[in-house]
Structure 1
Amino acid sequence: MTSIKWRTLATDLIRKRTQPKTESSFKRNRSKKIQITEKIYLIPFDKLRKESLKWYQDPESMYHIVGAKITYSEEQIQQMYEWQNEHGLLYYIEYKNGDLVQIIGDVWLAKDDYAIVIDQAFRNRHIGRAVTKYFIYKSKKLGREFIMVSEIFDWNKASKQMFTSLNFYPFKENKDSWSYRRQLKKSKRTSEESK
């Protein structure tokens, strides 16, 4: 049985949000900004910011995010963010270039999924890579055995390249995509086999 992930369609989130809430295993410090590099910061989700409209209302960006050239309404983006925020760690990605400070993406880490969106104008600067390296570290600190990306579409070559360069590997084939995973610690079975 295949579960529908948040990226499929924003309208599916309404159905998901009616399911019983599960207790999140993430300890949250909502007010703390996290410095990743000299230029990259993570800001805990607080509200829908207008920059998000640019990413989720651009059909080309959405083709890489959800696999279809659709757009999300402001209400659908808000619902998606609220659902993600209830089921994991959701941050905006802030980028500083001299005196100019901009929100240029978002990132979400859940127990069984990881997703990152970077504004087209800021791609190919290794921002996604730096943020993902932080979340690999964060997942290890949370005691996770692996970090998983539920869906990278076959045509999203840049994402596939970034994740494989960070030792993620494809482990489950979907219709037009693969799920990727990175092992964070040896499982007990692997440890016993190596003895």
Structure 2
Amino acid sequence: MPIQGIEQKEFLPIDDNLRLRRYDGVHAFSFAWHQDPELVWLIDGDKELYTQDLLDRMYAFLAANGECYIIEVFESGQFVPIGDVTLFTDDFAIAIGDKRYWKAGIGFKVLNRMIERARELEFAEILVEEIYDWNQGSRRLFEKCGFEAVKKTAKGWSYRKVLCKQER
């Protein structure tokens, strides 16, 4: 139960070829992604590649503090991991690690599904601590999904999306 009082779902389906699977402690597939200097620069703002220990600590933090899901696409008859996404009560993180899926609309679908999940959990808003100025793709994605830049940070901007309560 990474978010206090909330049971995390095992799967969040998006469409027939895309789903989010609850993180289960296995992340060996993601080590190669975190050896890519471009990805590390976009998500961390530095060029220090991940060690196995750092990757283990990152996933332990994500799973302990938010709803962490593995982004999976249906490929060759099975779902395969291509990234991860985590919804926190006070932050949000998404990374498409497999570059073959960059600029394919997957981030848009995943972000919209996580907005829906936040509404299910009755969040008043979704916050993003920081998106770096040089990560123009992420900035465009969040803005396209209705997030607003609300505070300048040292290297970028914090974003927020206010969620309206659904009519009952």
Task: Tell me whether the two structures share a fold, i.e. TM-score over 0.5.
Answer: yes
CA contact (8 A) 2:67 2:88 kept: yes
**Where does structure 2 lack aligned partners over 5 or more consecutive residues?**
none
Displacement over 4 Å in runs of 4+ = none
Q: CA deviation at 1:98?
A: 4.5
Name the larger-Rg structure: 1
Partner of 1:12: none
Does 1:49 pair with 2:27? Answer: yes
Q: CA deviation at 1:142?
A: 1.0
CA contact (8 A) 1:48 1:78 kept: no
CA contact (8 A) 1:109 1:115 kept: yes
Partner of 2:73: 95
Q: CA deviation at 1:34?
A: 2.4
Q: Report the Cα distance in structure 2 between the residues aligned to 1:87 and 1:24, rounded to whole angstroms.
A: 9
The 5 Å alignment of 1:114-129 reads: 114-118=92-96, 119-129=98-108
Task: State TM-score, norm by structure 1.
Answer: 0.78
**Corresponding residue pairs, total:** 163
Does 1:26 pair with 2:6? Answer: yes
The 5 Å alignment of 1:1-195 reads: 24-29=4-9, 32-99=10-77, 101-118=79-96, 119-185=98-164
Report which of the two has the higher share of strand: 2
Q: Report the Cα distance in structure 2 between the residues aligned to 1:67 and 1:41, rounded to whole angstroms.
A: 28
CA contact (8 A) 1:26 1:88 kept: no
| Identity value in percent | 32
Letter in 1 for 2:4: S
Task: State TM-score, norm by structure 2.
Answer: 0.90
Greater CA drift, 45-54 or 78-87: 45-54
CA RMSD of aligned residues (A): 1.7
**Residues 23, 153 of structure 1: alpha-carbon distance in 2 compared, 3 angstrom cutoff:** closer
